[in-house]
C-alpha cells in the first residue's frame, strides 16, 4: 500500500519549486492531487506530466488571496471526489526589502498571499474535511517565522503569522473533536525559482556583490548547504500520511541547520 493511497490532496503554488515537488511526490505515493497555481499553464504542465507517468493529478488555476477562488476549488474537489484529505498551503511570495524600502503595497501583497492565503485555505479546507472528521493541513512557513531578517520585513511577518495560524487551527480542530490536524513546515534555503529571483534582486541592488559571493554568504548560514524541493516534499508526505496521525500544531523544521546558529 502506498503511503497516501487514494487521499484527495490540494497543493497550492504547485507549478514550480516546493509545491511542484510536493505534488509529484504525493501522486507517486497514491494521492489524487489537485495542482493549483496562479500560473494556469504551469499547473497544467505539472499535472500533465504526473498523469503521463501513470499517476493522478488535475490542474486548477487559482489565486490563493481570492476567497471566491477557494470556494470554487473546494466545491469542485468535493463534487468530483466527495472529500478532501490533505491541503498544502504552499503558495507564497517574497520581497527582499528593508523596512525603508518596503511599501505598504509590498506589505499588503505579502500578507495577502502568505497569510490571507493560508487563512482562507484553512477556513475552507477544514470545512470540507469536517465531512469525514479527518484530514491534514500543511502550512509551508519558513525559518524566518522563527528568526528575523532585516532584508525580508514583510516576508518574516507573514510567515510568522502563518506559524501561529497553524497552531490556532490545530487547537480549534482538536477541541471540536475532529481528527483534522494542522502542522507547519519551516524550510531553509531551497533551490527554487523564487530563491533564484531573490538572489538576482539582491545582487542587482548591491554594488560590488556577485552571485558567487552572495551564495557563499548564505552557505555560512546553512551548514548542510542548499536543499532541494524533494527534501521538503518528503516532510510534507510524512505530515500528509497516517504516520503523523498524533502530530498537530507542530513545526517540522527542515532547514539544513539554519536555526542551530
Nearest C-alpha neighbor of 170 from the set 113, 112, 122, 241: 122
Single out the catalytic residue among 26, 34, 155, 222: 155
How many residues are listed for the chain in this entry? 261
- DSSP conformational letter for 186: E
Give the C-alpha distances (Å, rounded to integers) separating 93 from 159, 242, 243, 257.
Answer: 10, 30, 30, 23
CA distances from 158 to 10, 202, 249, 259 (A): 21, 20, 18, 19
Q: Find the helix or strand (DSSP H, E) in which 157 lies.
A: helix 153-175
Instruction: Answer whether 164's CB lies under 8 Å from 230's CB.
Output: no
Q: Please confirm, yes or no, whether 144 is among the known catalytic residues.
A: no
Please name the residue that has the C-alpha cell 523596512: 99
Catalytic residue ranges: 155
Amino acid at each position: 500500500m502506498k503511503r497516501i493511497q487514494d487521499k484527495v490532496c490540494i497543493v497550492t503554488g504547485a507549478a514550480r519549486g516546493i509545491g511542484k515537488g510536493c505534488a509529484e511526490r504525493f501522486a507517486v505515493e497514491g494521492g489524487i492531487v489537485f495542482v493549483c497555481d496562479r500560473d494556469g499553464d504551469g499547473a497544467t504542465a505539472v499535472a500533465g506530466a504526473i498523469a503521463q507517468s501513470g499517476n493522478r493529478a488535475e490542474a486548477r488555476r487559482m489565486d490563493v488571496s481570492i476567497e471566491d477562488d477557494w470556494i470554487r476549488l473546494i466545491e469542485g474537489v468535493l463534487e468530483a471526489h466527495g472529500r478532501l484529505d490533505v491541503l498544502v498551503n504552499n503558495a507564497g511570495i517574497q520581497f527582499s526589502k528593508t523596512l525603508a524600502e518596503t511599501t505598504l503595497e509590498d506589505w499588503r501583497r505579502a500578507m495577502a498571499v502568505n497569510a490571507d492565503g493560508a487563512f482562507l485555505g484553512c477556513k475552507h479546507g477544514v470545512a470540507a474535511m469536517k465531512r469525514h472528521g479527518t484530514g491534514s493541513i500543511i502550512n509551508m512557513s519558513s525559518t524566518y517565522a522563527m528568526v528575523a531578517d532585516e532584508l525580508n520585513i514583510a516576508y518574516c511577518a507573514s510567515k510568522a503569522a502563518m506559524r501561529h495560524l497553524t497552531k490556532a487551527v490545530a487547537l480549534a480542530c482538536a477541541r471540536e473533536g475532529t481528527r483534522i490536524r494542522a502542522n507547519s513546515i519551516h524550510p531553509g534555503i531551497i533551490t527554487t525559482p523564487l530563491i533564484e529571483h531573490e538572489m538576482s534582486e539582491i545582487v542587482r541592488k548591491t554594488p560590488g556583490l556577485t552571485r558567487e559571493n552572495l551564495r557563499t554568504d548564505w552557505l555560512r548560514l546553512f551548514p548542510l548547504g542548499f536543499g532541494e524541493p524533494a527534501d521538503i516534499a518528503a516532510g510534507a508526505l510524512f505530515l500528509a500520511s497516517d504516520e503523523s496521525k498524533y502530530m498537530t500544531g507542530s513545526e517540522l523544521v527542515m532547514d539544513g541547520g539554519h536555526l542551530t546558529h
